[in-house]
Chain A
Amino acid sequence: GAVVSQHPSWVICKSGTSVKIECRSLDFQATTMFWYRQFPKQSLMLMATSNEGSKATYEQGVEKDKFLINHASLTLSTLTVTSAHPEDSSFYICSARSTSTGELFFGEGSRLTVL
């Protein structure tokens, strides 16, 4: 089946630094990717919709200057957490929508810990 790869799978950083997380569709093209955030024992909350070649669409309450999204190609979207703080610590998961079939596939998630 189709594979979506996220990198890194886990990262620890100091407060104030920026962290970039990559989401790649390995064997299909994805015009649209989604970024979710999941706190421990909670549901997945949609942060933004990433569209190839255009600006991301952010959900209400999500700071676009804090969470920078770039979808530069049909197989790669990146989420950059800028000036990270401990409250940004979370599990970030992407999903990619196959351009040809419309199916959604999830990445394995990236666990961010900000000290």
Chain B
Amino acid sequence: GENVEQHPSTLSVQEGDSAVIKCTYSDSASNYFPWYKQELGKRPQLIIDIRSNVGEKKDQRIAVTLNKTAKHFSLHITETQPEDSAVYFCAASKEAAGNKLTFGGGTRVLVKP
């Protein structure tokens, strides 16, 4: 089955700096890669996603890049703010298989004011 590795497990950045989280996946048939933000005790919130037919997607301060050949994708947060502090999860799935998500291990991001 699919295996998703996520790095780093923790990330501390100064407010205003950028944060980058990287994920690799094992199943070349995976074609949908969402990123979730989860605050303590809350549900995961979808913040951005990318499908395998594009290499990059951007939404304001958040961007995701995908390298299908290398089977890795990354989340980039620019101009970080304290409210960006949370745990971020990457995931991978095959849309034709009903979007059964396999999650990465998570990255705890702390933005210092």
Contacts and interface: CB of A to CB of B under 8 A. Distances in A.
Q: Do A and B bind each other?
A: yes
Interface of A: 32, 34, 41-46, 49, 91, 93, 95, 97, 102, 104, 106-109, 111
B33 interface: no
A108 B101 contact: no
A36 to B, nearest CB: 8
How big is chain B's contact interface, by range?
10 to 19
Contact of A43 (B89, B98, B99): B89
A35 B57 CA distance: 29
Interface string B98-110: 1111111110100
Interface stretch (B11-19, B40-48, B62-70): B40-48
Contact of A109 (B34, B41, B95, B101): B41
B101 A93 contact: no
Nearest to A4: B43
Nearest to B106: A43
Contact of B42 (A32, A41, A108): A108
B44 to A, nearest CB: 5
Contact of A93 (B44, B45, B95): B44
B105 to A, nearest CB: 5
A108 B104 CA distance: 20
Nearest to B91: A44
Contact of A104 (B41, B42, B89, B99): B99
Nearest to B44: A106
Interface string B28-65: 00000010000001111110000000000000000000
B9 to A, nearest CB: 9
B104 to A, nearest CB: 7
